Structure formats: C-alpha cells, structure tokens
Chains A and B, each alone.
Chain A
Amino acid sequence: MIRTAAFAGVLVLWGLVAYGNRALALMNPVLLPTPGEVVAVAAPQIRDGSLARHLAVSSLRIVEGFGLAAAAALGLGLLVAVWVPARLALEPMIEFVRPIPPLAFLPMFLVWFGLGETSKVAFIAYTTFFPMFVGISASLSRVDVMLLRAAASLGASRRELLGRVVLPAALPSIVLALRLGFGLAIFVIVGAEFMGADAGLGNLIMEGRVFFNPAQIVMGALLLGVLGSLANGLLLAAERRALKWRALP
C-alpha cells in the first residue's frame, strides 16, 4: 500500500516538474523528458520487440556473470573456510585486487575477451565476485563455536559439521551477500554495455546519449530499476522461504 503510494507520488512529482518546466520554460525542455515523451519513445520499441530483446540480452548477461561469480565465491569461500593454507594463500591476493575499481580494468576485458558476450559476462563476474567472496568467506568462518561444539559432542564429523552446521548457520549471511552481488551486477551492466555492445539496456542508454535522446536514457534507467527491484523481490521471497526459522510471528 505505502509502496504503491510512494511510487505514484514519485511519478506525479516527476510529471509536475517536467510539465511545469515546459510551461515555465526554465530549462531547455529536451533536457527534462516528460513521462509522456518516455512512453512515446518506448511504444514503437515495445511493438517491434526490440525493447524485449534489449532486456533479454542484459538479463542473460547479468544472470551468467552473476552465476559464475556466485559459484566461484561459494566454492572459494568454502575452501578458505575449511583449509587454512588456502586462506593464507588467497586472502592477501584478493584483498590487494579488491579495492581497485573494476572500471579501471574494463578496457582490458575488451582486449582479452573481445567485443562479444564473453567480455561483458566476464566483467560482471569479476566485479561481483569480490564483495560476494568477502561476505561468504567471512560468514562461513565466523560460525558460533558453541554450535560446532554442540554438534561435535553429538558425534558430527568434520564433513558433517560443514554440511549440517556451518552452511545452515551461515545461510542468512550468504543470501545477503548474493543479494548485494546481484544488485551490483545490475549496477555494472551499464558500464559493460557502454563499450562495444550492440544490444542491451546499457547500449540503449549509450544510443540515447550519442543521438541526443534524453527520453531514451530515462527509459533505459527506469527499466534497470524495474529489473533490479523484480530480481530483489524474487531473492527476498526465496530468502524468506529458506530462512523461515529466523523471524517467526
């Protein structure tokens, strides 16, 4: 209820500002597209299916890049949590590379992986890996020692401790890390598609810039917002199902 109202409020505000600007001629009206103009730009692209294609292309890249990174973060996070030599070897390297803004490497990804899909997927995977790895490995190695003691005194082996205590205990933080990673994937897809992409929402926005079409830029941004909140809603629902033991009425 409140959410719908808030959304409606923002739409109304946007309309007021944009149409008001038009009426009062405060700023070049081209620079502040109205909701009507955005719909007018979107309509033909919806009809000929090109908007759906852009959405699909971006979504696939996000899912692939995020999926790769999530698998790697889970695998390496587990390795680091159970095997001290791996932690000693991996953590300093990861901590060194992690703070470098991924955008600095974007050109290198194009050089290494070409202009095709691989470079975009690899860039998203690279960017989202670090925060997910840090979150997952920390939550796996910070499981309450009392829980481990309780399980060990009930006869759990090392392997059983991992499967029956460490993973379920860390699950809430793992899910949180995945949600943050997914949000970041949507964040960086635009950057990846700015360079040498022929489709995708980032490409749409880039086109809007090149052909000076602010309404198209706004449309692309709005679609990214929709994509992000849909995905977040899905992940939240999955989280609530998996973690129903945490907050019960």
Chain B
Amino acid sequence: MSPASLVGTGGARVQIEGVHKEFPVDGRSTPALVGVSLEVSAGELLCLLGPSGCGKSTLLNIVAGFLPPTGGRVLVDGTPVTGPGPERGVVFQEYVLFPWLTVAQNVEFGPRLTGMEAARCREIVARYLDMVGLREHATKFPVQLSGGMKQRVAIARALANNPSIVLMDEPFGALDAQTREVMQEELSRIQRLEHKTIVFVTHSIREAVYLADRVVVMTRSPGRIKEVFTIKLPEVRDRFAPEFTRYEAAITRLVKEEVAMVRE
C-alpha cells in the first residue's frame, strides 16, 4: 500500500461573506459575530486566534453548517452551505466521540457510511491510528481513554473520512506539550502531502505561527476580524528561528490588547 493511494483530493475554497450571528440571551438578541468576511483558499491552513468567547467556535459551526448565520453566507467552491456535509470534516473542542463504538469503529464511522469495503476501511483505520499513535488502543471504548487520547481519536476520525476541508476547534488543547508538538509536526506533514483546506482554532500563538499560512486575530466579543497576518516562513518551520519569534511577538501584542480590553 503506497501512501499516495490514500492521499486526499486536495482542498476546497471557503468564502465567508459578511457573516453576522446573533444569539437570543434573556429574550434579547445579542451579537456574537459582526460582519466577518474571509476567504480561505484551497489548500490553505488558516489559524483563528482571539479571546475566549469572541465567537471562534460559532464561526466554525456556521462554516460546518450546524448553525445558520443571522446574516451573510458561506460558500464552499462557490456553493452556499445549507447544512453539514462529509466534505467538511470537524474536530470538536469537546471531542464528541461515539461512546458506544470502539476507537477503531469511531475512526471507521465515515468511511463505512460511504459503503467502502471492509478491508480498505481497516487499512484506513490502521493508517490514521498509527498517525495519532493509538494503534494499540483500537479496541478500547472512549470511556477508557484520557482526554488527550480522545482528542487524537477525534482527529483521526475526521481525517479518515478524507474531507477537503477540516474545521478544527482547539484540536490539540488537551495534549501535553510534547504530544502537542508531535501532532503539530504531523499535521504540517499531512498538509504538505494532502493540501486540505484547514481552519484551525487555537489559543496558542506559537502553534498558529508554526502551522498557519495565515493567522486571523479576532476582536473580543462580538467577534470581528482585527487583523490578518500572512506567515511568510518556509514550509518546514523552525520554532527557534528569529523570524518565527518576530511573528510570535507581533501577534502576541495584538492578542494581548484584545484580552486586556475584555478584562476592563
């Protein structure tokens, strides 16, 4: 089995056009997102940064098709999003594994729905469990896993379905620092190979600079786009390079501003 036979189909373009979102709070509608416009090119990895509660998950939910925007729209390769679909894989902030399925069955969930033959499903499961380092836990149930392990199953489950777009909501948040760096390197390797379109929410500026083609910094709630950084660094990045640190410092300054204003 050559890795190329399992390589994905490449990414799709995502256009977020003037998206507004309001939630009813105590009977009054309260804005969560205000006029967010953003274009993610096919094969781009875009990181979303912003203070807690600024609307990152909400924006991801709208692109995933779980929530309708109050105003504006989202297009995928020119087609408006009206609901969830398998071309947009999601890694949830809270993992959301199927507790009645084993680790392997969770990863297999998407491929099985396509009617793929069992042998090929097994191949895919093995590949992605290897990728997240959980091969020997294949027959365990989610209750038997730690938070970080669950998170890695959720990542494997989303990628095994070979979506052209992956929406990842703090996918490495529950991992220890070492595993986190390994997963970052793995994701960046997959990305060089498969060129998916990835929207990646994180609170770690280092992680964003390591992974992203562009970093979007959002304002405090109600969320707007504050600034977009294009990271002009080589594909394989050195976390200790001076340019890396310069990006980190510039983005940190901006995020701190917003977080400080939340506290006032």
Query: Which of A4-12, A107-115, A123-131, A152-160 contacts the other chain?
Result: A152-160
The prevalent SS among residues of A at the interface is: helix
Chain B residues whose C-beta falls within 8 Å of the C-beta of A241 in the assembled complex: none
B113 at the interface (CB under 8 A from A): yes
Chain A residues whose C-beta falls within 8 Å of the C-beta of B142 in the assembled complex: 245
Query: Which of A17-25, A79-87, A163-171, A185-193 contacts the other chain?
Result: A163-171
Give the distance in Å from the alpha carbon of A155 to the alpha carbon of B65 in the complex: 12
B80 at the interface (CB under 8 A from A): no
Among A147, A153, A165: residue with most chain B CB under 10 A: A153
Q: Which of these, A155, A245, A247, contacts B114 with CB under 8 Å?
A: A155
Chain B residues whose C-beta falls within 8 Å of the C-beta of A243 in the assembled complex: 100
Whether A245 contacts B113 by the Cβ 8 Å rule is no
Give the distance in Å from the alpha carbon of A155 to the alpha carbon of B89 in the complex: 9
Give the distance in Å from the alpha carbon of A208 to the alpha carbon of B43 in the complex: 82
A195 at the interface (CB under 8 A from B): no
Chain B residues whose C-beta falls within 8 Å of the C-beta of A149 in the assembled complex: 64, 66, 84, 90, 92, 96
- Mark interface residues in B123-160 (1 if CB within 8 Å of A CB, else 0): 00000000000000000011110000000000001100
Give the distance in Å from the alpha carbon of A247 to the alpha carbon of B143 in the complex: 8
Give the distance in Å from the alpha carbon of A156 to the alpha carbon of B109 in the complex: 9
Give the distance in Å from the alpha carbon of A87 to the alpha carbon of B71 in the complex: 32
Looking at chain A, what size class is its interface with the partner chain?
A: 20 to 34
Interface hits, A211-242 → B, CB 8 Å: none
Q: Which of these, A150, A168, A169, A245, contacts B90 with CB under 8 Å?
A: A150
Nearest A residue to B141, CB-CB: A245
A151 at the interface (CB under 8 A from B): yes
Give the distance in Å from the alpha carbon of A150 to the alpha carbon of B88 in the complex: 11
Give the distance in Å from the alpha carbon of A155 to the alpha carbon of B163 in the complex: 10
Give the distance in Å from the alpha carbon of A154 to the alpha carbon of B64 in the complex: 11
Q: Which of these, A146, A154, A248, contacts B113 with CB under 8 Å?
A: A154
Chain A residues whose C-beta falls within 8 Å of the C-beta of B197 in the assembled complex: none
Q: Which of these, A146, A154, A171, A245, contacts B143 with CB under 8 Å?
A: A245
Q: Which of these, A147, A155, A169, contacts B110 with CB under 8 Å?
A: A155
Chain A residues whose C-beta falls within 8 Å of the C-beta of B65 in the assembled complex: 153
A-B contact pairs, 7 of them (CB 8 A): A149-B84, A150-B98, A153-B84, A155-B113, A156-B113, A168-B98, A171-B100
Q: Which A residues fall within an 8 A CB radius of B?
A: 146-147, 149-156, 160, 164-165, 168-169, 171, 243, 245-248
Q: Which B residues fall within an 8 A CB radius of A?
A: 64-66, 83-86, 88-90, 92, 94, 96-101, 109-110, 113-114, 141-144, 157-158, 161
Beyond A150-B98, A153-B85, A153-B88, list 11 extra A-B contacts (CB 8 Å).
A146-B92, A149-B64, A153-B84, A154-B157, A154-B161, A155-B110, A160-B113, A165-B98, A168-B100, A169-B100, A245-B101
